[in-house]
């Protein structure tokens, strides 16, 4: 496969679609369909998970309802296997909690005529010193 | 971090810990009557409130500046950095009497706390919150007593909603911490005496607290607390 020239649009489009589902508690579970049953990895706050089923369990274990999100930047790169690497920087607010900065990296890969999330790394940007 | 007037004898830093939804923030709000400003430090995810109080002990009147640190929701992500635990002298460990899960998580919190706190055996007050919701209560007094006994924790039932026992819970912790500090001061005075008589190397005891206004005591509180870091 070759580089996908649409990587920028794919990155932005994916992020928008993904968070629209994730941030609404009624639709959150459907983000599991973005992941492969075997070929997806998620690292959520250092906790490593493989496969759509376990990823869904993780998502369902989150205790907040609504997320209000402000995306600062979405940086994308094409990968040599036709996929897209995406780095998101933003802030999120769970229900009435104070807002937190976070970063999330996705790697999209092509499979079965569409993209799936092969890698997903999420962290809140909180530090050991002020 | 704060630049308040230093017209107190002791600066105490407490942490509130417990699952999300147990009422940590409400309890703090209730304790500070909602009157005191809250400060949010987004880089470390800390929300803290301050209150002044007077503690009487051994015939002396101590003016205390109490800082209570709260999480800013990152516990939902299971993400607390070591900065949060740093320099904390006492802990309010809270669960919800109407949530069995929050009660079962107490042992995990204690583990976390022992790992990150300044000592393996820090001062902790266990609070069963939402005691006003009698109909919804699922955690029995016997269950809590067994746990509290096992870990030797003082236990108190609170209601952040009605305010019941909230002040008592905080003051119970203040008493515990102050007692430890006073004992440490005695030890330190003893150690100083022994150092002077060349019996002991210059050891430091307990939480590195500075009694302000005392000869030889440092007036830079932040500096003294930083030295206390053992994370």
pLDDT of residue B72: 83
How many CB pairs below 8 A link A and B?
64
pLDDT of residue B196: 56
What average pLDDT does chain A have? 94
Say what the pTM is.
0.74
Does B2 reside within a domain? no
Distances (CA, A) of B190 to A72, B62, B186, B196: 57, 21, 6, 10
d(CA B35, CA B48): 13
Which stretches of chain B drop beneath a pLDDT of 50? 1-2, 36, 197-231
Task: Tell me the pLDDT tens digit for each residue of A23-46.
Answer: 999 999 999 999 999 999 999 999
Q: Is A61 on the interface with B (CB under 8 A)?
A: no
Q: Does one domain contain both B61 and B164? A: yes
Whether B77 and A45 lie within 8 Å, measured CB to CB: yes
Q: Domain containing B206: what range?
A: 183-220
Annotated domain spans of chain A: 7-124
Q: Does one domain contain both B95 and B26? A: yes
CATH fold label, A7-124:
Nuclear Transport Factor 2; Chain: A, (3.10.450)
Task: Tell me the pLDDT tens digit for each residue of B17-46.
Answer: 999 889 998 898 889 876 545 677 777 888
Per the structure block, which two tokens stand in for A62?
Answer: 């989150």
Whether B42 and A124 lie within 8 Å, measured CB to CB: no
Query: A22, A126, A128: best mutation site toward chain B, by most B Cβ within 10 Å?
Result: A126
Percentage of the residues of chain B whose pLDDT score is greater than 90 = 42
Considering CB atoms only, which of B19, B47, B83 is closest to A128? B83
pLDDT of residue B80: 76
Is A92's pLDDT higher than 80?
yes
Considering CB atoms only, which of B72, B78, B83 is closest to A100? B72
pLDDT of residue B20: 86
Q: Is B77 on the interface with A (CB under 8 A)?
A: yes
Length of chain B: 231
Percentage of the residues of chain A whose pLDDT score is greater than 90 = 83
Q: Does one domain contain both B23 and B98? A: yes
DSSP B86: T
Closest CA to B15 of B87, B95, B97: B87
Task: Tell me the pLDDT tens digit for each residue of A41-62.
Answer: 999 999 999 999 999 999 998 8
Whether B73 and A123 lie within 8 Å, measured CB to CB: no
């Amino acid at each position: 496969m070759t580089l996908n020239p649409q990587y920028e649009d794919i990155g932005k489009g994916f992020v928008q679609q993904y968070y629209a589902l994730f941030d609404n508690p009624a639709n959150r579970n459907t983000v599991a369909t973005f992941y492969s049953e075997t070929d997806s990895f998620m690292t959520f706050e250092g906790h490593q998970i493989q496969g759509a089923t376990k990823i869904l369990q993780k998502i369902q274990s989150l205790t907040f309802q609504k997320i209000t999100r402000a995306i600062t930047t979405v940086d994308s790169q094409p990968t040599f296997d036709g996929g897209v690497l995406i780095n998101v920087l933003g802030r999120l607010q769970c229900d009435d909690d104070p807002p937190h900065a976070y970063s999330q990296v996705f790697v999209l890969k092509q499979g079965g005529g569409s993209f799936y999330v092969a890698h997903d790394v999420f962290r809140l940007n909180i530090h050991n010193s002020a | 971090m704060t630049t308040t007037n230093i017209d107190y004898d002791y600066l105490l830093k407490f942490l509130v810990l417990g699952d999300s939804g147990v009422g940590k923030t409400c309890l703090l709000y209730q304790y500070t009557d909602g009157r005191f400003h809250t400060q949010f430090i987004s880089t470390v995810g800390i929300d803290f409130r301050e209150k002044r109080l007077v503690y009487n002990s051994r015939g002396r009147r101590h003016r205390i500046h109490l800082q209570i640190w709260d999480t800013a929701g990152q516990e939902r992500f299971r993400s607390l950095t070591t900065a949060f635990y740093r320099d904390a002298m006492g802990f309010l460990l809270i669960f919800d009497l109407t949530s069995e899960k929050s009660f079962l998580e107490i042992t995990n919190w204690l583990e976390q706390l022992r790992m990150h706190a300044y000592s393996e055996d820090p001062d902790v007050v266990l609070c069963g919150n939402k005691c006003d919701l009698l109909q919804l209560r699922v955690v029995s007094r016997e269950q809590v007593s067994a746990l509290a006994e096992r870990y030797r924790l003082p236990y108190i039932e609170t209601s952040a909603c009605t305010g019941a026992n909230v002040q008592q819970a905080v003051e119970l912790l203040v008493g515990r911490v102050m007692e430890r500090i006073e004992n440490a001061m005695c030890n330190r005075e003893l150690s100083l005496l022994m150092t002077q008589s060349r019996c002991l190397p210059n050891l430091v005891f307990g939480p590195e607290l500075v009694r302000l206004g005392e000869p030889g005591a440092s007036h830079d509180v932040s500096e003294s607390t930083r030295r206390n870091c053992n994370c």
